[in-house]
Amino acid sequence: MSNLKGKIALVTGAATHKSMGRAIALQLATEGADVVVADKFAVPKILRAEDANWRGLHSVVQEIEALGAKGLAVEADVGSSKDVDALVAKTLEKFGKIDILVHCVGVRGPVPVPVIELDEETWRMLIDVNLHGSFLVGKAVAKAMLPNGEGKKIVFIGSGAGIEAFAGAAGYCAAKHGLMGLMKCMAIELAPHKINVNAVLPVAFDTNFRDEQMSKEAKEKGISVDEVIKNQPQGPAGAIPIGRLGTPEDAAGAVSYLVSDKSSFASGASILLAGGLAI
């Protein structure tokens, strides 16, 4: 485990209970970092019965502080440059610097939808959230990391959809492929400042990521989201060589390495977390 004492981390997409963002924020706090957590809504829409008492970012800050670190919750829409600039400003106002960025915001949208049936509004939303938002956050934080950038880290949470294609997910795949290009360009440009830029690419994870889609399915069938989840086929779990879906903590473990001093020679790289599925 890394020693991040004295480091300031900013983690986006951290409001939902079963999110990679929350798990990553807690992992970094465990390792000694003070953590700013951000999301579009401080308290996300509660769709699962198990999350009934969840208070979003405020709950995450309480968990961070229980670990002995300092926390800050900021509501910000990463698709808005105004919100992103305010997020960075609030972080700097409270902590004076940003050493680590882990950008976890993402949306999959409806799938499967063939390209010929994909409406322009959905396409633009997928690009705006997954790619444009990454650009805005990455740019603003990179500027804040300069000129004393040595040892600072940027990690984008991408997807296996960023390196291969899936029928019916053109908008999501296009955005995640674009994110990989953004990450690599930033890695080259920031290398002279000794800032490392990398990505983690999860595949087949058990998180809140698909809750919105399952909520729509529940409404169509006239049942609860919990019933939809219970009746879900196990997806690709049976095909994964390791024999299970990924967890938010799996993503947090990969991030832990990428934000540590041990990864000082890794930049422009990606870690695929697929349990052997892509072999």
Nearest to 218 by CA among 208, 229, 209, 207: 229
Q: Is 257 a catalytic site residue? A: no
Nearest to 229 by CA among 49, 101, 58: 49
Phi, psi values for residue 58, rounded to 5°: -65, -40
Distance CA 65, CA 57 (A): 12
User: Which run of H or E residues covers position 101?
Assistant: strand 100-103
31 and 4 in contact (C-beta within 8 Å)? yes
Q: Which of 54, 95, 172, 209 is catalytic?
A: 172
Q: Which residue has the tokens 């940003």?
A: 98
Distance CA 72, CA 57 (A): 9
Examine residue 248 and say whether the peptide bond preceding it is cis (omega within 30 degrees of 0): no
Which residues on adjacent β-strands are paired with residue 271? 200
Distance CA 27, CA 90 (A): 22
Give the catalytic positions in this structure: 172
